[in-house]
Chain A
């Protein structure tokens, strides 16, 4: 029989007001195997931990149970204390008598019985505990950043500055993401390009950053510290190494097409660069639009290129990279127009979304910063802005707040009023969410100084009448119907995750929420980590947010990566699966069930009498295994066991509870 110590924590009144801690420790004293039991006001305090250490040493305890708060809170604290006293930390188990007992019950008598039962079960578990030892795993000090928006660039620059190599993968031909499309930025109204381009330029020239634009991650394997990824480099049809960026090709190309960068507000050539400050400043051929690709004739670019770098026959290629950590910064998109038919988006040329407005307000945009409506290029005399278009709307499956629209709508209205002083700007809003430094003041400035009309209420319909757009809505403050004629309607459409986020999540084995935003490991305490070790999150990939918040979060993710790389090897949690080769039949039913692909077949040789027999069994890659336990449930032989949560331990716990 092992010598086990039991410590019951009061957690001040948190536990002791509902659980009779004294009675619990008294009763545990008489429980078989328990050598010592006591209760204490705050076990997590310094004196509390000292008590645990001293008791372990004085009584030569072989295992302890701490009945206190959730193991999520202090398991590591108590395990460290035990380790300092010479006890293997995995011989320490927590009974949660706070979140699972005192906080959820009111009857003290019943709660005490439950607490005692649970502690007894944990004692039984500890009796079956074994010494476990973490393993050292090697580490590749190189990070992969996915997405070249402001968040991805920030991570890349921070990690590169710390001295570690970075691979930045961006699916578009140039970096900058959505911020590159913005005109001016709230709450200071400084020009977006002016603050962005120094960053893009630095990313472009940093010796520690390998930039892979026009590329996507298509496969990922391995585990934290040691991932192997495959990156698909899509063809640009131009040899970027040779190209000198003279853009003669763009100038002479006869084919104009809609520019996706301009969100339909402007045109670009079939061979072109998206915008003048693009990094890398290299053209790409749009295969679908290029005359040569369609008809086999033209080749104007080939004729004018002074360095002969057009390569129509270029193919995509896959590169493989070994890396230690991944940061997902795949950003956002806006809800597609088809989803917002009641506002006539997609039907009327002059109903546009926020990003389209950014383009016509941007100095480098198609109208050179003069706000003109798309249909006829007229300067609008009346603009209606509709907030929460799709956001906070259960019918559009977007019940969440997109967070940035209140602010950019105020910005849009201001930018317009600064240009067209006698024009009217009306904003329909549900309520104004301007939480941020200088944000409320910014909105007030729009209302008071720039006379933007804010109407609280929802818009029912946007339709056309006699060539004019009519916005029909309700002012919920006066309960009156409002009808406004507008030259231009701007919808603050819901922010949604990048189209490819879900697939990316599946490739990287990182979970996404119901909308496709990446899930963080803990909403409060681990907001930049994903549930998969070694994969971190930054920017709008995780949730809608503005630039300052994006940059802070990206810096946090970079710090996580740098901390990880500051060590020479990683230490793995020993609470992983292990196979009992004696009983494993090698059926490998466990293999497809492992979310982390940690299970593989292995052939072992066993002596049976005088003969040596070859057998197939399952083995665990301890680096990949995250200890989720799925395999141990799938294994009907009981050959698969989770160290620290073994079948034996769980069965003993159940017996103590049920018998």
Chain B
């Protein structure tokens, strides 16, 4: 049977030969053994380095913004389209960009990959007790080999936190699908950590978040990684009016994180990329999750993470409760 990587290469070749795309976005090996980084190919040869496996990868959807023309330019020639490797979570990000009129669906080729959760090497290392030198992955297990130890770990234990709560294991719709797959790792929505924080007193909560936000170095990685953060000019970059003072103070970090969370409220697709990219491990997923949880409860939405044309927070209805 062909591996997904082989199948991808075959498809990429066809796309370029038939003049159907100008660019293919996927992954290649990074600088360390298990790291994967974005790769861009303008022809088949460039695509040969690309691979698909189950190690943690960065989000690709956001690159579509810079690679595609404005929606006002309309549908482009077939040969000007961009193809992109798409897992379920990427798909939600792409939907976000489409719903927000940033890109047109017609201008992209979605190359879908089913996904069971991505492997967090840090977790594997921790369980192994040392840095793994070799990691092999099968249907259910991960085998990590270190210098001295060997360990078989169940996949569920080492997938990324965000993957455990995944709401879409494969793109809902695609142009090309590289494999068929059913989910092996059990996923369910888990708001228990959020509920714990909800139970805290206001003071405890303030202290909790102060501890988190104090660490923030305002690198804006969370914003840059987020597909919902697709403004032409982010308000944090605008000087007039100045929404954020340049001084580094906990109060300003609070401002930054609140504004960020509220700007994606009702639009966050629960991909968890912000949390993944944060260099100081601020649990941003808790903030976004709290907003999703509230929206689901208040507006009777089943899954707030799935982008829809009209957002629960973005609509005017005459029968909206008007309690003042």
Q: Which A residues contact B (CB, under 8 angstroms)?
A: 505-506, 509, 511, 582-589, 592-595, 601, 603-604, 613-616, 630, 634, 636-639, 647-648, 651-652
Whether a CB of chain A sits under 8 angstroms from the CB of B233 is yes
Interface residue from A506, A595, A616 paired with B72 (Cβ < 8 Å):
A616
Q: Which of B224-265 contact A (CB under 8 A)?
A: 230-235, 238, 240-243, 263
Which of B182-190, B277-285, B307-315 has 4 or more CB atoms under 8 Å from chain A? Answer: B307-315
Complex Cα distance A648/B235, Å? 12
Instruction: Given A587-B101, A616-B71, answer yes or no on A637-B318 (Cβ-Cβ < 8 Å).
Output: no
Whether a CB of chain A sits under 8 angstroms from the CB of B316 is yes
Complex Cα distance A585/B229, Å? 11
Q: From A583, which residue of chain B is reached at the shortest CB distance?
A: B233
- Contact: A616 with B101, CB < 8 Å? yes
- Contact: A592 with B316, CB < 8 Å? yes
Whether a CB of chain A sits under 8 angstroms from the CB of B100 is yes
Instruction: Given A584-B232, A648-B240, answer yes or no on A616-B70 (Cβ-Cβ < 8 Å).
Output: yes
Complex Cα distance A383/B130, Å? 97
Interface string of B282-298 (1 = CB under 8 A from A): 00000000000000000
Instruction: Given A614-B72, A615-B70, answer yes or no on A582-B233 (Cβ-Cβ < 8 Å).
Output: yes
- Contact: A636 with B72, CB < 8 Å? no
- Contact: A585 with B102, CB < 8 Å? yes
- What number of B residues sit within 8 Å (CB to CB) of A? 28
Instruction: Given A636-B231, A638-B235, A648-B241, answer yes or no on A585-B100 (Cβ-Cβ < 8 Å).
Output: yes
Least distance between A218 CB and chain B CB atoms (Å) = 16
- Contact: A589 with B102, CB < 8 Å? no
- Contact: A634 with B70, CB < 8 Å? no
Whether a CB of chain A sits under 8 angstroms from the CB of B73 is yes
Please give, as numbers and ranges, the residues of chain B lying within 8 Å of A613 by CB-CB distance.
70, 73
Please give, as numbers and ranges, the residues of chain A lying within 8 Å of B234 by CB-CB distance.
637
- Contact: A583 with B232, CB < 8 Å? yes
Please give, as numbers and ranges, the residues of chain B lying within 8 Å of A594 by CB-CB distance.
316
Complex Cα distance A634/B311, Å? 11
- Contact: A589 with B311, CB < 8 Å? yes
Complex Cα distance A89/B97, Å? 42
Least distance between B310 CB and chain A CB atoms (Å) = 5
Given A585-B100, A587-B102, A616-B101, 9 extra CB contacts under 8 A: A586-B101, A587-B100, A587-B101, A592-B316, A593-B314, A595-B318, A613-B70, A615-B70, A616-B70
Please give, as numbers and ranges, the residues of chain A lying within 8 Å of B100 by CB-CB distance.
585, 587, 589
- Contact: A614 with B316, CB < 8 Å? no
- Contact: A647 with B311, CB < 8 Å? no
Least distance between B291 CB and chain A CB atoms (Å) = 13
Complex Cα distance A199/B186, Å? 75
Complex Cα distance A117/B314, Å? 34
- Contact: B231 with A637, CB < 8 Å? yes
Complex Cα distance A613/B74, Å? 12
Least distance between A258 CB and chain B CB atoms (Å) = 34
Least distance between B114 CB and chain A CB atoms (Å) = 30
Please give, as numbers and ranges, the residues of chain B lying within 8 Å of A583 by CB-CB distance.
231-233, 238
- Contact: B72 with A588, CB < 8 Å? no
Complex Cα distance A615/B232, Å? 11
Please give, as numbers and ranges, the residues of chain B lying within 8 Å of A637 by CB-CB distance.
231-235
Instruction: Given A615-B72, A647-B241, answer yes or no on A595-B233 (Cβ-Cβ < 8 Å).
Output: no
Q: From A634, which residue of chain B is reached at the shortest CB distance?
A: B314
Least distance between B242 CB and chain A CB atoms (Å) = 8
Complex Cα distance A190/B311, Å? 58
Complex Cα distance A614/B316, Å? 29
Please give, as numbers and ranges, the residues of chain B lying within 8 Å of A652 by CB-CB distance.
241
Q: Which of B310, B314, B316, B322: most chain A Cβ within 10 A? A: B316
Please give, as numbers and ranges, the residues of chain A lying within 8 Å of B230 by CB-CB distance.
585, 587
A-B contact pairs, 15 of them (CB 8 A): A582-B232, A584-B232, A585-B100, A586-B72, A586-B101, A588-B101, A592-B314, A603-B72, A614-B73, A615-B72, A634-B314, A636-B235, A637-B235, A638-B241, A651-B242
Please give, as numbers and ranges, the residues of chain A lying within 8 Å of B233 by CB-CB distance.
582-583, 637
Please give, as numbers and ranges, the residues of chain A lying within 8 Å of B318 by CB-CB distance.
505-506, 509, 511, 595
Please give, as numbers and ranges, the residues of chain A lying within 8 Å of B241 by CB-CB distance.
638, 647-648, 651-652
Please give, as numbers and ranges, the residues of chain A lying within 8 Å of B322 by CB-CB distance.
511
Please give, as numbers and ranges, the residues of chain B lying within 8 Å of A651 by CB-CB distance.
241-243
Q: Which of B234, B241, B242, B311: most chain A Cβ within 10 A? A: B241
- Contact: A630 with B316, CB < 8 Å? yes
Interface residue from B70, B101, B242 paired with A614 (Cβ < 8 Å):
B70
Least distance between A330 CB and chain B CB atoms (Å) = 16
Complex Cα distance A634/B233, Å? 16
- Contact: A593 with B316, CB < 8 Å? yes
